[in-house]
Structure 1
Amino acid sequence: MPLINVIPGDKIPLAPMNVRLPAWRVPGWLLVFWWLARGLFRLTVLAVRYWWLTGPAALALWIRVELGGLALAGVALTVAAGCLGWWRWHPSSWLRFGWYPLLARVRALVIYRRRWASVMATCGLATAFAGDRYVPQLLRVRCDRYGDELTVRLLPGQIPDDWGQAAERLAYAFRLRTGQARSTNRPDRVVLRLVRRDPLAEVVGPLPVAEVPDFDGLALGVDEEGQPYRLRLSGSHVLIAGATGSGKGSVLWSLIRALAAGIRSGLVEVWAFDPKGGMELAAGVPLFARFAYDDPDSMAGVLEEAVKRMRVRAARLRGVTRQHVPTPQDPLLVLVVDELAALTAYITDRKVRDRIKEALGLLLSQGRAVGVHVVAALQDPRKDVLPFRDLFPTRIGLRLTEPEQVDMVLGDAARDRGALCDRIPESSPGVGFVVLDGVREPVRVRFAYLTDDDIRQLGHDYRHHSDTDTDQGVNP
């Protein structure tokens, strides 16, 4: 039984075998007819495929023949004036429906389709079957201000991770900056994002404070599409990892700013822990219900107090509801820890260190449903430094010093999927990748930057009202 070609894709023809076949006498006129018919068919297919070129060309030729060159020049000037007026009157719609679709077709023809087969072969994404070679099909190209998105039909046996591992090679092959692959709703397709220029090159200023914080979508920064990035805090803990100067403070203060209205109204309580003597978080003391620093034993006591509150709340909600709903009488409790490794690994007193680890383990494993959330930042993501990092459903990787640290923070194969935290330059603090539990692809974000004056103003406008003083004698 003959083999049936069942692989979808564009076949790369191979040179035929050099075998001697019997000679057949074919009339010359029949060969000429066959060549003409085949050429006409190919021209028709190309004309239909590239109608956006052949259509205007045919129309221009008809106007030139029927009405003359002046008429053709008048039509061209009218079209150019209409496009210019559209751009000046409503530039966003012109870019979306006019310029970018045209640019996508031109780049697909000139850059991608022309070199597609050779790039797929050299990047290891082509395959062979029954003596023929196949490459994935390029289905669509979309362009925007910062890059191109290529929708590709996978070959049988390929998965999106294969494209994630090859994304950087593909970007360099097409002379672009970076690449990232992500899956779609259809299992036979993948979207390859190739960046022409960095959309997160500019510093993001403080974002507006919502009147009521949305715990399912706190605006913390801007994503690669220029849209506000919203982080889901309800039902989650957040781990932030990055080298010195990578912008961990931008993430922490962006999160606190997004919660500011809830802090003022009593809907949120922030307990802050700053083992570095209060240098990072002291500017926002008026925002904190509790502020612990410098003394490890005191910080251990505050964490144990949070565990007690968590257990009391769990006993009260048992059999009533499975998810805590914040109210001013029963607020959301957010524990913000700057440099978590100083509490879990660098404390010399073993008893205090064990108390802190036990309290953090209980809070991370039992606190989400009862409205107790941990937001922790650290520099060293090794397992012996943070043994319970798997209990953080939301992980943020800023600039890291080694490629191996990316998978330590964001999970296995995160770097292969495009989270190149070790490639983030020192000149881009606050840029990082966010990975959510259950979501394969990382999201690249630049978090908002708050100056010391912004933080002090935030504390003045949204200070927490409490009858009790904070730890270490600091009164908000």
Structure 2
Amino acid sequence: MRVTSHNTGLGGMRGRQTPQLVTVQPRPTLGTVVVVNAARLVGRLLRWLCHHPLVTGPMLAVVVLLRLLGTTGVAHVLLAGTVGLAAGLVVWRDRWPASFRRVLASRWRALVVYRRLWQPAMVTCGLATTVGEREYLPEIRRVVSETCRDRLLVELLSGQAPEDFEARTSQLAHTFEATECRVVADRPGRIWLEFTHADPLVEVVPALAPAEPPDLTALPVGTREDGTPWTLRLLGTHLLIAGATGSGKGSVLWSLIRALGPALRDRSVQVWAVDPKGGMELTPGAGLFAWFAYAGPAAMVELLEDAVAFMRHRSERLRQAGLRLHQPTPEDPLVVVLVDELASLTAYVGDRELKKRADAALQLLLSQGRAAGVLVVAALQDPGKDVLPYRDLFPTRVALRLLEDTQIDMVLGRSARARGAACDRIPPSLPGVGYVVIEGIREPVRVRAAHIDDNDLARMVDEFAPPAVATDQPPLQLVKGDA
């Protein structure tokens, strides 16, 4: 024992204090340390078993069977149980694939693939942080396994942003043996990492049945990567489709026209088509158009200028009626100016005067036509500023396969390539596959347009061609006279 004493003063007076005895605790023996730690380990094991009934249940069942049936009986039971379990899993996977992936496949891949490699992946990619001697990692909150991809809900560290992971998508994809990794913001502080293992858009999308009447704010033209329908808004917007040769621009155009079919038939929508390829692309559907110009740049520019005149006439009429937005009706239809290869009018026309007239007409339509119900749907191969200097006047844009990564941001906006719009990596064997920016979604969405073959086009013309107008004048003369 150790004796300690001290004096205290009170009111300037000193007094002698009674010595206090301090008891020194004896050091624990080795046996005590072993017993205490063993008890702690057993407690932790019991808590773990209580929290994991899928492990505890089979273990208890084996112990009970050993007591009741012996070693031979347990072997027979285990064999029968294994066969039954395998058969049950096969039936579960085939009959209820969604719940199978959600309950079993997700947990299995979370344990075997992602949590096992998570710490070294975060460290080597520079996404982990060390403070003092302690290492901090972004935390996996949830794993969702789908048919062709796995989605990881990740909680970010303080100071991290989705852009930190977007700069490491290539390394993460290779680490977890995925063909692609994309970052999707969930809410502040959380992101989804989407690891694609197989392409869900490799199958051709058949021609889609149009709705009657069609919803001009959501026209079905294909399917999205997650299996939901891909719809395009047409009312109140202009649409630009950019893609290299053979990328499937025709699939998007014809799918859009097919979705408009019932409206074309009842004349609440009209298509004025321009085909600079001499009519080769759009001629099969000529019966669907109110006006079709293909015989030379002069006729095409004349169509655009008459569309401007029609737009101005309708705008004045709406102004006098006190209306700010045109509503399509059979008596006053929505006009869609469809241009197959826009660069043929804006960059490749040899006649400088015709080029200036085409540019002037297009800029007027793009800047003033939405409210008046005169919309432009255009396709082109090269989205560069020297080819289409006013591409920003198209609010809605679709990017199919492109030859250069710099073209992606030209079409979809800044940082679209970094956020997953890998248009330059789309193989030529997948025409109609591309990326679009959906309102309210930060990341570009991967889509595929439906394939429209010649038989589908023939049926579309038979089913949706508008009835003949009771006049001997062509639509162009009617438009000029009305304007």
Correspondence 1:55-70 to 2 at 5 A: 55-61=56-62, 63-65=64-66, 67-68=68-69, 69=74
Q: Select the structure of larger CA radius of gyration.
A: 2
Contact 2:398 2:412 in 1 (8 A): yes
Shift of 1:427: 0.9
Shift of 1:121: 1.6
Contact 1:332 1:372 in 2 (8 A): yes
* Structure 2 counterpart SS, 1:427: coil
Q: Over the residues paired in the alignment, what is the CA RMSD in angstroms?
A: 2.5
Is 1:376 aligned to 2:381, yes or no?
Answer: no
Which region of structure 1 is more displaced relative to structure 2, 220-229 or 37-46? 37-46
C-alpha separation in 1, matches of 2:53 and 2:325: 55
Q: Name 1:469's counterpart in structure 2.
A: 474
Contact 1:344 1:356 in 2 (8 A): yes
Distance 1:43 1:323, change over 3 A: farther
Corresponding letter in the other structure for 1:314:
S
Q: Name 1:388's counterpart in structure 2.
A: 390
* Structure 2 counterpart SS, 1:291: strand
- Structure-1-length-normalised TM-score: 0.86
Distance 1:416 1:42, change over 3 A: farther
Q: Name 1:428's counterpart in structure 2.
A: 430
Contact 2:268 2:334 in 1 (8 A): yes
Correspondence 1:221-370 to 2 at 5 A: 221-318=222-319, 320-370=322-372
Contact 1:291 1:471 in 2 (8 A): no
Which region of structure 1 is more displaced relative to structure 2, 192-201 or 351-360? 351-360
C-alpha separation in 2, matches of 1:426 and 1:444: 16
C-alpha separation in 1, matches of 2:272 and 2:44: 71
Distance 1:36 1:432, change over 3 A: same
C-alpha separation in 1, matches of 2:128 and 2:115: 15
Correspondence 1:13-52 to 2 at 5 A: 27-40=29-42, 42-44=44-46, 46-47=48-49, 51=52
Contact 1:333 1:373 in 2 (8 A): yes
Which region of structure 1 is more displaced relative to structure 2, 119-128 or 423-432? 119-128
Which region of structure 1 is more displaced relative to structure 2, 365-374 or 265-274? 365-374
Corresponding letter in the other structure for 2:250:
G
Shift of 1:82: 5.4
Shift of 1:77: 6.0
Corresponding letter in the other structure for 2:290:
A
Which region of structure 1 is more displaced relative to structure 2, 283-292 or 349-358? 349-358
Shift of 1:315: 2.6
Is 1:397 aligned to 2:399, yes or no?
Answer: yes
- Structure 2 unaligned regions, length at least 5: 1-25, 478-483
Shift of 1:79: 5.6
Alpha-carbon displacement from aligned partner over 1:364-397 (angstroms, at most 9, x marks no partner): 1222223222111100111111111112121111
Which region of structure 1 is more displaced relative to structure 2, 249-258 or 56-65? 56-65
1:448 to 437, 447, 450: 450
Contact 2:237 2:395 in 1 (8 A): yes
Contact 2:173 2:181 in 1 (8 A): yes
C-alpha separation in 2, matches of 1:264 and 1:230: 21
C-alpha separation in 1, matches of 2:430 and 2:311: 38
Alpha-carbon displacement from aligned partner over 1:328-350 (angstroms, at most 9, x marks no partner): 11111111111111111111222
C-alpha separation in 1, matches of 2:240 and 2:53: 49
Shift of 1:29: 3.0
Distance 1:264 1:127, change over 3 A: same
Correspondence 1:404-423 to 2 at 5 A: 404-423=406-425
Distance 1:63 1:428, change over 3 A: farther
C-alpha separation in 1, matches of 2:174 and 2:83: 39
Distance 1:128 1:239, change over 3 A: farther
C-alpha separation in 2, matches of 1:354 and 1:193: 47
Corresponding letter in the other structure for 1:355:
R
Distance 1:37 1:303, change over 3 A: farther
Distance 1:55 1:293, change over 3 A: farther
Distance 1:27 1:437, change over 3 A: same
Which region of structure 1 is more displaced relative to structure 2, 291-300 or 197-206? 291-300
C-alpha separation in 2, matches of 1:412 and 1:110: 37
Which region of structure 1 is more displaced relative to structure 2, 154-163 or 144-153? 154-163
Distance 1:121 1:84, change over 3 A: closer
- Structure 1 unaligned regions, length at least 5: 1-23
Shift of 1:192: 1.0
Q: Name 1:153's counterpart in structure 2.
A: 155
C-alpha separation in 2, matches of 1:42 and 1:343: 75
Corresponding letter in the other structure for 2:122:
M
Shift of 1:42: 4.6
Distance 1:280 1:224, change over 3 A: same
C-alpha separation in 1, matches of 2:448 and 2:64: 52
Distance 1:63 1:355, change over 3 A: farther
C-alpha separation in 2, matches of 1:314 and 1:411: 30
Distance 1:355 1:280, change over 3 A: same
Contact 1:241 1:409 in 2 (8 A): yes
* Structure 2 counterpart SS, 1:456: helix
Contact 2:101 2:145 in 1 (8 A): no
Q: Name 2:18's counterpart in structure 1.
A: none
Corresponding letter in the other structure for 1:231:
L
Shift of 1:400: 0.8
Alpha-carbon displacement from aligned partner over 1:375-428 (angstroms, at most 9, x marks no partner): 111001111111111121211111111111111111111011110000001111
Is 1:178 aligned to 2:180, yes or no?
Answer: yes
Contact 1:292 1:470 in 2 (8 A): no
Corresponding letter in the other structure for 1:284:
G
Is 1:54 aligned to 2:59, yes or no?
Answer: no
Shift of 1:86: 5.3
> How many residues are treated as equivalent by the alignment?
443
Alpha-carbon displacement from aligned partner over 1:151-206 (angstroms, at most 9, x marks no partner): 1011122222332332232111101111111112x211101111111101111111
C-alpha separation in 1, matches of 2:169 and 2:447: 19
C-alpha separation in 2, matches of 1:364 and 1:132: 58
